[in-house]
Structure 1
Amino acid sequence: MPIGKLYGIGVGPGDPELLTVKAARLIDETDIIFAPQSKSGKPSVALNIVQDYVDKRDIPCEIYQPLFPMTEDKEELQRSWDEATDVLYEKLEQGKSAVFVTLGDPTVFSTFSYISSRLQNKGVEVELVPGITSFTACAARAGVQLTEQDDIMVVVPQVSEKLTKILPYVDTVVAMKTSRHLDVLEDCINQDPRQKDIVSVQNCTMDDENIVHGFVDNKKYFSTSIIKFRK
């Protein structure tokens, strides 16, 4: 029996209407849906986004919510990825198809990459289905043009020495998950003498979306700041 195919599907930032037509079709057709959760007992955010599509299926499918903890412990992360890979591979060996739903786009800071590489090493065919990224959705919701003409934009998940070195050459900075590094980000941006416009978006396209001009200081995980330097 041939090994089933795995689809890594980006489900966008939160609004179910931002799901692509192809992603919706595959969710309707697949045998298994894998939707990672960050904490035991806490529903998968990605699954919540596609739940209406799952509920409308004519034939029910299997749903698995492996635990991918929000931790810096590399051993714990490796263990969770290995366990999820083993469960997925066992199902795919039965000839079943599966989709792995992930927030935003599967090629941008997505945990799916770690599962995908493991399964590809086992001979599994993997197809990526792009989704709307959180930062492009944030820009759209805030009415911000990310780039114009030959602007240079950089997207960072966390501020490091790399950003401070390249910042003078950058026109737009997109800082994701700012709740983890807001103080460092503010210091870095404030050191640049250029005039700038800053907008922050929390829980983009979700029911409790919040758009603020400037940085916003709280612990919401889904926070993105867009900094545009004036010319």
Structure 2
Amino acid sequence: MEIGKLYGLGVGPGDPELVTLKAARIIKETDIIFAPQSRNGKPSVALNIVQNIIDEREEECEILQPLFPMTEDKDELAKSWDDAAEMLFEKLSNGLNAVFVTLGDPTVFSTFSYVSKRLQKKGVEVELVPGITSFTACSTTAGIQLTEQDDIMVVVPQVDERLPKLLPYVDTLVAMKTSRHLDVLEDCINKDPREKEIVSVQNCTMEDENVVHGFVDNKKYFSTSIIKFKK
């Protein structure tokens, strides 16, 4: 039995023009497009980014959009990853190749990693295709340098008790998905005595992009704050 190949493909932060040439080529050549959605009825953001590329294909392709719930319930998450892996393996077992499109880069806080591990255990060949990360896109949009010389940068998806211990050694902090932990983040940053520059970007490179100097208090999921501590 010939098993197809799985591509973990980063499609960047939101602007379709930031999809790499390699990613676009693979999307045009591959049999299955796998684009998870966060809840029923809401289209996949990653799929929307590459929809124009799919429309340019000479041949039809199958698009699968399984539900990946936005939850912290570990059992529910594990079940969704198991189900997605089984869905993909059924297609791959027929010799078809598949693309798993993911926002940003597939190696940075991507759900793809959980599905990939399950499929690799079944003998599936996986190839990663890098994409532009959201936080580098945020820094360019905001016109702020992330690092210089020997600066230490830390990227966090969630603020917990580890951050105050790390902060004295950090020159640049990137806090992703800040809508989930803004109060804790602000308290932690305010306790640091150093002067600092804070820029927050919402929906980076998308039509409703918003850049704010300081923190921004609302519930937009795609929110990133960059904090630069002055030496």
Scaled by the length of structure 1, the TM-score of the pair is 0.99
Sequence identity (%): 80
Q: Which residue matches 1:83?
A: 83
For residues 166 and 58 of structure 2, the distance between their equivalents in structure 1, rounded to whole angstroms, comes to 52
Aligned length in residues? 231
For residues 43 and 60 of structure 1, the distance between their equivalents in structure 2, rounded to whole angstroms, comes to 19
Task: Report SS of the residue matched to 1:40.
Answer: coil
Q: Which residue matches 1:226?
A: 226
Give the alignment's Cα RMSD to 1 decimal. Answer: 0.4
Q: Which residue matches 1:134?
A: 134
Partner letter of residue 89 of structure 2?
Y
Q: What is the CA distance between 1:186 and its match in structure 2? A: 0.2
Q: What is the CA distance between 1:137 and its match in structure 2? A: 0.1
For residues 25 and 103 of structure 1, the distance between their equivalents in structure 2, rounded to whole angstroms, comes to 17
- Segments of 4+ in structure 1 off by > 4 A? none
Q: Which residue matches 2:62?
A: 62
Task: Report SS of the residue matched to 1:174.
Answer: strand
For residues 220 and 208 of structure 2, the distance between their equivalents in structure 1, rounded to whole angstroms, comes to 11
Q: Which residue matches 2:196?
A: 196
Aligned residue runs from structure 1 range 95-134, under 5 A: 95-134=95-134
Q: Which residue matches 2:146?
A: 146
Partner letter of residue 100 of structure 2?
F
Task: Report SS of the residue matched to 1:205.
Answer: coil
Partner letter of residue 99 of structure 2?
V
For residues 167 and 213 of structure 2, the distance between their equivalents in structure 1, rounded to whole angstroms, comes to 21
Aligned residue runs from structure 1 range 9-88, under 5 A: 9-88=9-88
Q: Which residue matches 2:158?
A: 158
Deviations 1:148-186 (A, max 9, x none): 000000000011111110100000000000000000000
Q: Which residue matches 1:209?
A: 209
Task: Report SS of the residue matched to 1:76.
Answer: helix
Q: Which residue matches 1:170?
A: 170
Task: Report SS of the residue matched to 2:165.
Answer: helix
For residues 158 and 85 of structure 1, the distance between their equivalents in structure 2, rounded to whole angstroms, comes to 26
Scaled by the length of structure 2, the TM-score of the pair is 0.99
* Structure 1: 5+ residue stretches without partners: none
For residues 66 and 26 of structure 1, the distance between their equivalents in structure 2, rounded to whole angstroms, comes to 21
Task: Report SS of the residue matched to 2:162.
Answer: helix
Deviations 1:24-54 (A, max 9, x none): 0000000000000000111000000000000
Q: What is the CA distance between 1:196 and its match in structure 2? A: 0.1
For residues 60 and 217 of structure 1, the distance between their equivalents in structure 2, rounded to whole angstroms, comes to 43
For residues 138 and 171 of structure 2, the distance between their equivalents in structure 1, rounded to whole angstroms, comes to 17
Partner letter of residue 173 of structure 1?
L
Task: Report SS of the residue matched to 1:122.
Answer: coil
Q: What is the CA distance between 1:204 and its match in structure 2? A: 0.2
Partner letter of residue 186 of structure 1?
E
Deviations 1:53-107 (A, max 9, x none): 0011000100000100100111111111111100100000000000000000000
For residues 117 and 97 of structure 1, the distance between their equivalents in structure 2, rounded to whole angstroms, comes to 17
Q: What is the CA distance between 1:2 and its match in structure 2? A: 1.2
Task: Report SS of the residue matched to 2:9.
Answer: strand
For residues 84 and 168 of structure 1, the distance between their equivalents in structure 2, rounded to whole angstroms, comes to 41
